[in-house]
Amino acid sequence: MAVQIRSAVADDVGLILSFIRDLAEYEKLPHEVVATEERIRNALFGPHPFAEVLIASDEGRPVGFALFFHNFSTFLGLPGIYLEDLFVRPAARGRGIGRRLLIHLAQLARERGCGRLEWAVLDWNEPAIKFYRALGAKPMGDWQIFRLTGDALEKLANE
């Protein structure tokens, strides 16, 4: 049986959260995961889904996932896909599963009329950086990511 890629369904919420926790462990950020199954269910499968998930299985076993959502390029005048998370369990790496997930996302982007597919990667994650460069992805060295969370987000929202 070959690697299978499918869209996640509501019954996958526990699996998705386990992938998120595994990814956080890999990125040395497990303390930042406060997501719950209820939050994931509401965000992905509630009345207004905010993101989508692809599940990769090998020999019928789930081994990886990609969580993504649409953004928009004002310069292109087109939607894009932003890949928030891509993770393949360590035992399944090196078999082309991450590549297959990205191919699937590129096909979705094309089918949906998107002008770009983009993501961020931690600067220390050399294996991922090498992998992305091999696919033809280019780092956006002239851009920095900014984020408001927690108290800073609340403070700005209350102004």
Report the mean per-residue pLDDT for the chain: 96
Q: How far apart are CA 72 and CA 92, in angstroms?
A: 33
Q: How far apart are CA 110 and CA 116, in angstroms?
A: 9
Q: How far apart are CA 103 and CA 33, in angstroms?
A: 28
**Which residue type does 125 have?**
N
Selecting among 115, 132, 143, 151, the annotated active-site residue is 132
* Average pLDDT rounded to a whole number, residues 15-29: 97
pLDDT exceeds 90 at position 44: yes
Helical (H) or strand (E) element with 132 = helix 126-134
Q: What pLDDT score does 42 carry? A: 98
- For residue 24, give the nearest of 112, 122, 99, 119 by alpha carbon: 122
pLDDT exceeds 80 at position 50: yes
Buried b (16+ CB within 10 A) or exposed e, 91-116: ebeeeebbebbbebbeebbeeeebee
pLDDT exceeds 70 at position 112: yes
Q: Which domains does the chain have, with CATH numbers?
A: 4-157 (3.40.630.30)
* Average pLDDT rounded to a whole number, residues 13-24: 98
Helical (H) or strand (E) element with 78 = strand 78-88
The two structure tokens encoding residue 100:
């297959």
- Condensed to tens digits (0 to 9), the pLDDT of residues 88-98 reads 999 999 999 99
Active site annotation includes 132: yes
